A and B are shown apart, each in its own frame.
Chain A
Amino acid sequence: GAGVSQSPSNKVTEKGKDVELRCDPISGHTALYWYRQSLGQGLEFLIYFQGNSAPDKSGLPSDRFSAERTGGSVSTLTIQRTQQEDSAVYLCASRGAWGANVLTFGAGSRLTVL
């Protein structure tokens, strides 16, 4: 697509429920990133994909968080047994093979855990 597409744009869930957030990167972009942006905080790196593999998962906050990417395209970030502290905006970005690490971001998925 023309840009990075994320869905849902807003998600309200109850504590303890599982949620899935989807990211559709720019066509042909090989690298895909997930960041978390909490109120008043900067961007917290979560995970990075090169193709379908995730060489760096060091940013995932706990084992309740997981992500996958299939076909070198769409990625899904899954949060199991959500907690209130998971409430944040989850941003996805993609990067092509060139461009000095310039990332193109999606509009984000706002997650609210009640």
Chain B
Amino acid sequence: AQSVTQLGSHVSVSEGALVLLRCNYSSSVPPYLFWYVQYPNQGLQLLLKYTSAATLVKGINGFEAEFKKSETSFHLTKPSAHMSDAAEYFCAVSPRGATGANNLFFGTGTRLTVIP
């Protein structure tokens, strides 16, 4: 069974500091992995995805994530936080080759606060 765990429902960082949002997955084979961001009163927007190419994936707004099979992790990072990064971030996992229903599993989300 697929599942994804996000450690820390709330993360606060100072403007300009490193952002690190943690995500671990459980899967028998490496799945597809995603990070979505939800700004206030908006829908979810794809930030980046890992499908099988380079293990270090670069996304929009300066975010990147590294797939580490040995740690079953896909943590999201950004070197320097900006006020506009304040949002809710969701990690998601999808089995490879899956078709049909319910094949995207979301974590419970991490709310990022950026302190001026």
Q: A101 and B98 in contact (CB under 8 A), knowing A106-B43, A107-B43, A108-B43? A: yes
Indicate whether B17 reaches chain A with its CB closer than 8 angstroms.
Answer: no
* Most chain B CB neighbours (cut-off 10 Å) among A59, A101, A107: A101
Partner pick for B109 among A42, A56, A105, CB 8 A cutoff:
A42
Indicate whether B90 reaches chain A with its CB closer than 8 angstroms.
Answer: yes
Partner pick for A42 among B98, B102, B103, B108, CB 8 A cutoff:
B108
**Chain B residue with the shortest CB-CB distance to A103:** B104
**Interface of chain A residues 22 through 65 with chain B (CB within 8 A):** 33, 35, 40-43, 45, 48, 50, 54-56, 58-59
Whole-angstrom distance between the Cβ of B100 and the nearest chain A Cβ: 6
**Interface of chain A residues 88 through 108 with chain B (CB within 8 A):** 91, 93, 100-108
Whole-angstrom distance between the Cβ of B48 and the nearest chain A Cβ: 11
Indicate whether A4 reaches chain B with its CB closer than 8 angstroms.
Answer: yes
A102, B102: Cβ atoms under 8 Å?
A: no
Partner pick for A100 among B32, B102, B109, CB 8 A cutoff:
B32
A48, B100: Cβ atoms under 8 Å?
A: yes
Chain B residues near A102: list those with CB within 8 A.
34, 46, 49
Indicate whether B107 reaches chain A with its CB closer than 8 angstroms.
Answer: yes
B104, A101: Cβ atoms under 8 Å?
A: yes
**Chain A residue with the shortest CB-CB distance to B44:** A105
Indicate whether B26 reaches chain A with its CB closer than 8 angstroms.
Answer: no
Chain B residues near A48: list those with CB within 8 A.
100-102
A105, B43: Cβ atoms under 8 Å?
A: yes
Chain A residues near B46: list those with CB within 8 A.
102-104
Chain A residues near B104: list those with CB within 8 A.
33, 45, 101, 103
Q: Known contacts A42-B108, A104-B46, A106-B43; can you find 4 more A-B pairs with CB under 8 A? A: A48-B102, A101-B94, A101-B98, A103-B44
27 CB-based A-B contacts, threshold 8 Å:
A6-B43, A33-B104, A35-B106, A40-B9, A41-B108, A42-B109, A43-B44, A43-B106, A45-B102, A45-B104, A48-B100, A48-B102, A50-B101, A54-B101, A55-B100, A55-B101, A91-B44, A100-B32, A100-B49, A101-B32, A101-B34, A101-B94, A101-B104, A105-B45, A106-B43, A107-B41, A107-B43
